[in-house]
Amino acid sequence: LDTGIFHIGPHFQTDSQADFYSVLSDFLPHKLSRFHPSISGSEATEVAIKSCMHKTGAKKFIGFTGGYHGRTFGALSVSGEKGKNANLGPFSPKCEIIAFPQSKDCINDSILSLDEEPLAGVIIEPIQATAGLRFVNENALRELRAYTKSNNIPLIFDETFTGFFRTGKMFCFEHYNLVPDILVFGKALSAGFPAGLVVSTEEILGQWQKGVQSSTFQLGPIAAAASRSFLSKLKNDNLVKNAKKQNLTFKKELNNLTVTGKLVDVRGIGSFWVLEFDSQETNMKVRKQALDNGLITWECGERGECLGLVPPLNTDIRIIEKACRIIKKSVSEVLQL
């Protein structure tokens, strides 16, 4: 970076990239030792899909209802949540969207109903974000891991949203005590610089032939330096401590909201909290009221029925407290509680 050369294209590696991969390795299970950079979460999904197809020779994927993996065509294909692009199909690669397993039985039923076509891979957000913070059933995830392992089907966890401490652990797979074959990262990965990354095994990514995948700006030197600096902040600063305090503050402040009628649920994990309403209309009213009261919120949920709170991990606790006060005030103003 001292040379002032900020771009070198995909054919060369700089020290800042090598350094970043090396530090990231310390956070990852030993078997996930291979990296392939990209410019975004969507492109990382494309890379993950291609790596599965090259590895298995198969062409069909399994995705889940509510799953969101990006807006490029391959990513759309494997996303249950296609939004306004749903009518652009047929999509490629072929993908069967099955019910997001919030109970154990539901995954067994889905697996039993699959046809004979060989699978290239299965892609899941174990904690769905855009669908409004929905949690996979832990036993179902284990069943899915067992099924994919015994059939040599790569299992992809898309951690574009959940990675890097958003859910109170470095990676969301750590909540389940199992390791996927492929991880997809983006967003927080590079602390605001555009970048994505696929992490996988020697067996899957190590065997790629040259030229199979490249992208001019894939995790360039500046993004790598930003990522590296973010990792050292996660390691050495009070960032993790602050994120834990954020979680406790949300819990304390939001858990006493009265869940009744139009406010269907309040749920959260780490620094990611959601208020689920009966409809998008109610949600819009509360979000508008919160905005008028000084707080920007995020719309999520399969029907736009969820208000999401996703603060930066370094947001001061006093701001989180203030945000929760605004939420409570706005909810009671709109719902007349």
Ligand X SMILES: Cc1ncc(COP(=O)(O)O)c(C=O)c1O
Query: In 3D, which of 234, 185, 222 has the Cα closest to residue 16?
Result: 222
Q: Which is nearer to ligand X, 21 or 157 (CB)?
A: 157
For 248, half-sphere exposure in the C-beta direction (CA atoms, 13 angstrom radius) is 9
125 counts as binding ligand X under rule CB under 6 A: yes
Contact in structure between 123 and 78 (CB atoms under 8 Å): yes
Among 61, 161, 164, 173, binds ligand X (CB under 6 A): 161
Quote the tokens at residue 213: 């995948």
Quote the tokens at residue 30: 């030993």
Type of residue numbered 138: E
160 counts as binding ligand X under rule CB under 6 A: yes
76 counts as binding ligand X under rule CB under 6 A: no
Q: For Cα atoms 152, 154, 160, give the angle at the middle one, nearest 5 degrees.
A: 165
Stretch that binds ligand X, among 41-49, 106-114, 203-211, 266-274 (CB under 6 A): 41-49
Among 16, 77, 110, 130, binds ligand X (CB under 6 A): 130
User: Shortest approach of ligand X to residue 195 CB, angstroms?
Assistant: 9
Stretch that binds ligand X, among 16-24, 112-120, 154-162, 326-334 (CB under 6 A): 154-162
What would the x/- binding string for ligand X be over residues 163 to 192, using CB under 6 A?
Answer: -----------------------x------
Q: Which is nearer to ligand X, 43 or 181 (CB)?
A: 43
Stretch that binds ligand X, among 35-43, 94-102, 147-155, 274-282 (CB under 6 A): 35-43
Stretch that binds ligand X, among 153-161, 204-212, 219-227, 323-331 (CB under 6 A): 153-161
Shortest Cβ contact with ligand X: which residue? 41
Burial call 88-110: b when 16+ CB within 10 Å, e when fewer: eeebebebbbbebbeeeebbbeb
Please provide the size of the chain in residues: 337
Q: What is the DSSP letter of 137?
A: P
In which element (H, E) is residue 155 found?
strand 155-158
Please name the residues in contact with 36: beta carbons below 8 A apart, sequence gap of 6 or more. Answer: 47, 51, 197, 198, 200, 205, 208, 213
157 counts as binding ligand X under rule CB under 6 A: no
Among 24, 32, 36, 41, binds ligand X (CB under 6 A): 41
List interacting residues with ligand X (CB under 6 A). Answer: 40-42, 45, 68-70, 125, 129-130, 158, 160-161, 186
